C-alpha cells in the first residue's frame, strides 16, 4: 500500500505527532484532513520540541505538507504557527505547504460563540478548546462559511457576510452580546489575506498528481475516534469525523486513498475535557500515570484525566475506523507498576456489555470489568528493538493485541523520534 492514514484510537493525545513525524521520513507528502487548531501534536527531535496545532507534522522535516478541505482554518493562527516554526528554524513556505482553497475559516465570532456557550453550560459543558471549532463546522454545514478562496474576493463578500452576521448577531443577542463588528472583521480579513493566499492551492489536484506518480501520502488525523461526532462519546466530542474515511473526503481523494490505517493507541487511557471515562483512576494510579506521562494538554495546558487501558473502547474504535494495525505508544509510562489492569468488558444494570452503549448516561454508569496482568520492574524507556523489552511488557502487548483483535505495527518507548520499535512497516504492507 502506498499510503498510510494515522488516526487516534482513543480520546486524542495518543502520540500521533511523534508517529507521524517518524513515518514522515518515508513519505512524500503529509496531509491534515479534519479538525483545526484544537489539535496539539508534539514532536521531540534532540533538544528541540515542536508543538503543532494546525500545520501537518511533515513541515518539520521539510516534507511537502497539505491542509485539506476538511480542516477548519483560523487564518490568524495559521500565520502565528508558521511564524513560530520559522523562529525554531523550520523552513515553511508555499513551496512546502499548501492549504485547500475550500477550507472554511474560523473567525473571531466562532471563538466568541464557543466560549459563550461553554461559559453558559455550567456542569454540562463539553470542555472544548474554545478555539471556535464547533461553531465553524456548524457554519460550514449551514452554508454560511467564509472560505480561504473568499480571501481573494473580499470586495464581493458583502451578501455572504450579511447572512453570516444575521445568524451570529441573533445568537449573540441571546447571550446579551453586541452584534459582530463587521468593519473590524473585514479589516482583519484584509490584513491576513495577503499572508494566507500564497499558500492557497487546489490541493485535490496536487494530491491527485502525487497519487498518479506513485508518491507516498501520509494522512495525519487529529483528535481520536472516541471524539468523532458520529462514533464518539456524544455529545462530549469534537465536531468533525475523526475516522479514516475522512482522509479521503477531507482532502479530495477517493475512498481507496487511505491505504494502511494505523491507529495510534496509548498503553493506558487519557481524556481532556468532560464526558464519560469508564476506566478513569481519580486516585494514586491516575496521578502516577499523569506525572510519568506528563499528561497536560498541549493546546490548553489542562491536566488530562488518566486511567487503565480500556480494550473494549479500543476494539470498538478500531472497528468503526477500519484500522489495519496499531502503534502502541507510551509503553514506558507503565514501567515500574507491580501490576496493571486492562478493562475487558462492562457491567450495566446486571448485564454484560462488550461495547460502549450509546447513551451518555449509560456511558457514565458502566462498571468496567478488569483483568489484572503482571507489571515489570525493568525499563522499556528508549527501547528501539523488541529484544530490549522485559518479558512481562511483551506479554502486556500480546494480550492487548488479542483483546483488541488487531496487530501491533509500531511501539513507542519515549517522546524522542527514534525511540520507536518497528514491527511491521505500514508503508510496505
Ligand atoms: P497527539 O495529540 O496524539 O500528537 O499527542 P500529544 O503530542 O498531544 O501528546 C503525546 C505526548 O506524549 C507528547 O508530549 C509526546 O511527546 C509524548 N510521547 C509520545 N510518544 C511517547 C512515548 O512513547 N513515551 C513517552 N513517555 N512520551 C511519548
Ligand atoms: P489531538 O489532535 C485531545 C477535545 C476537547 C473537548 C472536545 C471538544 O491533540 O489529539 P473542540 O475544541 O474540538 O470543540 O473540543 O474535544 N479535544 C481534544 N482532546 N486531543 C485533541 O487533539 C483534542 N481536540 C479536541 O478537550 O473535550
Ligand atoms: Mg494532542
pLDDT tens, position by position, 21-60: 999 999 999 999 999 999 999 999 989 999 999 999 999 9
Ligand 1 pocket mutation, candidates 7, 13, 15, criterion most atoms within 8 A of CB: 15
Q: Which atom of ligand 2 is nearest to the CA of 8?
A: 10
With respect to residue 427, please indicate whether it lies within any of the assigned structural domains: no
CA gap 407, 404 in Å, rounded: 9
Judge whether 92 lies within some domain: yes
CA of 18 to the centre of ligand 3 (A): 10
75 and 206 together in one domain: yes
pLDDT for 2: 87
Q: Measured in angstroms, how far is the CA atom of residue 195 from the centroid of ligand 1?
A: 31
Nearest CA residue ID for atom 28, ligand 1: 415
**pLDDT at residue 429, rounded to an integer:** 72
Pocket of ligand 1, candidates 10, 12, 17: which has the most ligand atoms within 8 Å of its Cβ, to mutate? Answer: 17
**Other CB atoms within 10 A of residue 243 CB:** 27
With a cut of 60, say whether residue 329 has pLDDT above it: yes
- Closest atom of ligand 1 relative to the 298 alpha carbon: 8
Q: Is residue 115 part of a domain?
A: yes
pLDDT greater than 70 at residue 338: yes
Q: Among the bound ligands, name the one nearest to the CA of residue 39.
A: 2
- In whole angstroms, what is the distance from residue 36 CA to residue 70 CA? 9
Number of folded domains that form the chain: 3
User: 52: CA distance to ligand 3 center in Å?
Assistant: 9
Separation of 156 CA from ligand 2 center, angstroms? 34
Domain boundary among 196, 225, 246: 196
Query: Do 327 and 251 fall within a single domain?
Result: no
- Of 66, 76, 148, which is closest to residue 105 (Cα–Cα)? 148
Closest residue by CA, ligand 2 atom 13: 238
Task: Specify whether the CB–CB gap between 383 and 412 falls below 8 A.
Answer: no
- How many angstroms is it from 328 CA to the middle of ligand 1? 11
pTM exceeds 0.85: yes
Q: Is the pLDDT of residue 385 over 90?
A: yes
Is 227 in the same domain as 326? no
Contacts of 186 (CB under 8 A, 6+ apart): 154, 157, 161
Residue at 429 is within a domain: no
Would you say residue 70 lies in a domain?
A: yes
Q: Region 321-332: what's the mean pLDDT?
A: 98
C-alpha grid cell, residue 80: 502565528
**One domain, residues 270 and 388:** yes
Predicted confidence at residue 19, as pLDDT, reads: 97
- Mark whether 188 and 112 lie in a shared domain: yes
Are 163 and 285 part of one and the same domain?
no
CA angle 159, 165, 169 (to 5 degrees): 150
222, 298, 299, 415: which to mutate for ligand 1, most atoms within 8 A of CB?
415
- The pLDDT tens digits of the residues spanning 271-322 come to 999 999 999 999 999 999 999 999 998 778 889 999 999 999 999 999 999 9
- Residue ranges near ligand 3 (ion) with Cβ within 5 Å: 13, 40, 298
Tell me which of 167, 196, 225 is where a domain ends.
196
- Which residues touch 391 (CB under 8 Å, ≥6 apart)? 376
Classify residue 201 by burial, with Cβ atoms within 10 Å: 0-12, 13-18, 19+. middle
Sign, CA torsion 225/304/127/52: negative
Distance CA 260, CA 26 (A): 14
13 catalytically annotated: yes
User: Are 79 and 215 within one domain?
Assistant: yes
Domain enclosing residue 204, as ranges:
4-103+199-260
Say whether both 59 and 207 belong to one domain. Answer: yes
Nearest Cα residue to atom 10 of ligand 2: 12
The reported pLDDT for the residue numbered 205 is: 98
The ligand that comes nearest to the alpha carbon of residue 335 is 1
Mean pLDDT of the chain: 97
Residue whose C-alpha cell is 478493562: 343
Residue 124 has pLDDT above 90, yes or no: no
Residues 274 and 384 occupy one common structural domain? yes
156-162: long-range contacts (C-beta < 8 A, 24 or more apart)?
157/186, 157/189, 161/185, 161/186
Please report whether residue 428 resides in a domain.
Answer: no
Measured in Å, residue 76 CA sits from the centre of ligand 3 at: 20
Compute the average pLDDT of residues 53-71: 97
User: Which atom of ligand 1 lies closest to the CA of 224?
Assistant: 3
| CATH code, 65 | 3.40.440.10
- The mean pLDDT of 355-379, rounded to a whole number, is 97
Smallest CA separation from ligand 2 atom 16, residue: 238
Ligand 2 first shell, C-beta below 6 A? 8, 11-13, 38-41, 126-129, 131, 133-134, 222-224, 227, 238-239, 272-273
Maximum C-alpha span of the chain: 66
Question: Which residue CA neighbors atom 23 of ligand 1 most closely?
Answer: 330
Percent of the chain with pLDDT over 70: 100
What burial class does residue 234 get, using C-beta atoms within 10 Å of its C-beta: 0-12 exposed, 13-18 middle, 19+ buried?
Answer: middle
Q: CA torsion, points 233, 239, 243, 249, in degrees to nearest 10?
A: 160
Residues with CB under 6 A from ligand 1: 8, 12-18, 40-42, 44, 294, 298, 329-330, 332-333, 412-415
Task: Tell me which residue has its CA closest to atom 6 in ligand 2.
Answer: 128
pLDDT of residue 268: 98
CATH number for the domain spanning 170: value is 1.10.300.10
Evaluate if residue 342 carries a pLDDT over 70.
yes
Mean pLDDT along residues 330-352: 98
pLDDT at 1: 56
Cα-to-centroid distance, 13 and ligand 3 (Å): 4
Residue 378 CA from chain centroid, whole number: 32
Residues 281 and 378 occupy one common structural domain = yes
| Cα–Cα distance for residue pair 58/17, rounded to 1 Å | 9
Give me the CATH number covering residue 298.
Answer: 3.90.170.10
Q: How far apart are CA 225 and CA 352, in angstroms?
A: 23
| Domain boundary, last residue among 241, 260, 279 | 260
Upper half-sphere CA count for residue 144 (Cβ side, 13 Å): 18
Please confirm, yes or no, whether 231 is among the known catalytic residues.
Answer: no
167 Cα–ligand 3 center, Å? 32
Task: Tell me: do 137 and 251 sit in the same domain.
Answer: no
- Which one of 37, 41, 110, 231 is the catalytic residue? 41
Are 244 and 3 in contact, with CB atoms under 8 Å apart?
no
Q: Does residue 97 share a domain with residue 46?
A: yes
Amino acid at each position: 500500500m502506498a499510503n498510510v492514514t494515522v488516526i487516534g484510537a482513543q480520546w486524542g493525545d495518543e502520540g500521533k505527532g511523534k508517529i507521524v513525524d517518524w513515518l514522515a521520513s518515508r513519505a512524500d507528502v503529509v496531509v491534515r484532513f479534519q479538525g483545526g487548531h484544537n489539535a496539539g501534536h508534539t514532536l521531540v527531535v534532540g533538544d528541540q520540541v515542536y508543538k503543532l496545532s494546525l500545520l501537518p507534522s511533515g513541515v518539520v522535516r521539510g516534507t511537502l505538507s497539505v491542509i485539506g478541505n476538511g480542516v477548519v482554518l483560523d487564518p490568524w493562527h495559521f500565520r502565528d504557527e508558521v511564524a513560530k516554526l520559522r523562529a525554531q528554524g523550520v523552513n515553511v513556505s508555499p513551496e512546502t505547504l499548501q492549504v485547500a482553497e475550500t477550507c472554511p475559516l474560523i473567525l473571531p465570532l466562532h471563538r466568541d460563540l464557543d466560549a459563550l456557550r461553554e461559559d453558559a453550560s455550567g456542569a454540562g459543558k463539553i470542555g472544548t478548546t474554545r478555539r471556535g471549532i464547533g461553531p465553524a463546522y456548524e457554519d460550514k454545514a449551514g452554508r454560511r462559511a467564509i472560505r480561504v478562496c473568499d480571501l481573494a474576493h473580499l470586495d464581493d463578500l458583502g451578501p455572504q457576510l450579511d447572512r453570516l452576521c444575521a445568524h451570529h448577531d441573533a445568537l449573540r443577542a441571546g447571550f446579551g452580546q453586541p452584534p459582530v463588528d463587521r468593519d473590524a472583521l473585514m479589516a482583519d480579513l484584509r490584513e491576513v489575506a495577503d499572508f494566507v493566499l500564497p499558500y492557497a492551492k487546489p490541493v485535490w489536484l496536487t494530491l491527485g498528481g502525487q497519487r498518479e506518480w506513485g508518491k507516498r501520502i501520509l494522512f495525519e488525523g487529529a483528535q481520536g475516534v472516541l471524539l468523532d461526532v458520529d462514533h464518539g462519546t456524544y455529545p462530549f466530542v469534537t465536531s468533525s469525523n475523526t475516522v479514516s474515511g475522512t482522509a479521503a473526503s477531507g482532502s479530495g481523494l477517493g475512498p481507496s486513498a487511505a491505504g494502511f490505517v494505523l491507529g495510534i493507541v496509548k498503553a493506558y487511557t487519557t481524556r481532556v475535557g468532560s464526558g464519560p471515562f469508564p476506566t478513569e483512576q481519580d486516585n494514586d494510579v491516575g496521578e502516577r500515570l499523569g506525572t510519568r506521562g506528563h499528561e497536560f494538554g498541549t493546546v490548553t495546558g489542562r491536566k488530562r484525566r488518566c486511567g487503565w487501558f480500556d480494550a473494549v473502547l479500543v476494539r470498538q474504535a478500531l472497528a468503526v475506523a477500519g484500522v489495519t494495525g496499531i502503534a502502541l505508544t507510551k509503553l514506558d509510562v507503565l514501567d515500574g507498576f507491580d501490576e496493571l489492569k486492562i478493562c475487558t468488558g462492562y457491567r450495566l444494570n446486571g448485564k454484560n456489555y462488550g461495547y460502549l452503549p450509546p447513551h451518555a448516561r449509560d456511558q457514565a454508569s458502566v462498571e468496567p470489568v478488569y483483568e489484572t496482568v503482571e507489571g515489570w520492574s525493568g525499563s522499556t524507556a528508549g527501547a528501539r528493538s523488541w529484544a530490549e523489552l522485559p518479558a512481562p511488557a511483551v506479554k502486556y502487548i500480546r494480550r492487548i493485541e488479542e483483546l483488541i483483535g488487531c496487530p501491533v505495527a509500531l511501539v513507542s518507548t519515549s517522546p524522542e523520534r527514534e525511540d520507536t520499535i518497528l514491527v511491521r512497516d505500514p508503508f510496505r504492507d
